[in-house]
């Protein structure tokens, strides 16, 4: 229990430091997907946190750095159990959007959809 309290104090201190540097969104990004989700939620609530802070958190919704196209291929092939060329006739290398747990690529399936 003491370790958990210490961890929360550490996280709180880290957030306060970065808030004063106007870098809350980056702090949440560094701390991982659960904190990114918190930032995404808060970015939709300017009535609670204010318009400026909500705007600064809005990039967490779809503007996070994306992972490589090679990683995309590995993930798709692992999840579908097939080669990329067996699933898609076209897939854009650069994602349309990237967020906490996924990124979006335009693609056309072998069936033309």
Q: 8 by DSSP, 3-state: which?
A: helix
Euclidean distance between CA atoms 101 and 107, whole angstroms: 19
Cα angle 55, 56, 59 (rounded to 5 degrees) comes to 90
pLDDT confidence tier of residue 31, bands split at 50, 70 and 90: confident
Looking at residue 88, its pLDDT comes to 94
Mean pLDDT (the chain) is: 85
pLDDT confidence tier of residue 79, bands split at 50, 70 and 90: very high
91: β partners? 107
pTM for the complete prediction? 0.59
Angstrom CA distances, 93 to 16, 23, 36, 42, 62, stand at 37, 29, 24, 30, 17
On the question of pLDDT at 3 being above 60, the answer is: yes
Euclidean distance between CA atoms 23 and 17, whole angstroms: 9
């Amino acid at each position: 229990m003491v370790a958990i309290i210490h961890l929360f104090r550490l996280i709180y201190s880290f957030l306060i430091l970065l808030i004063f540097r106007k870098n809350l969104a980056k702090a949440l990004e560094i701390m991982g997907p659960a904190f990114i989700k918190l930032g995404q939620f808060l970015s939709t609530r300017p009535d609670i946190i204010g318009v400026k802070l909500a705007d600064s958190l809005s990039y967490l919704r779809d503007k996070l750095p994306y992972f490589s196209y090679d990683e995309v291929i590995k993930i798709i092939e692992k999840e579908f159990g097939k080669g990329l060329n067996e699933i898609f006739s076209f897939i854009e290398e650069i994602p349309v959007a990237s967020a906490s747990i996924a990124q979006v690529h335009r693609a056309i399936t072998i069936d033309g959809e």
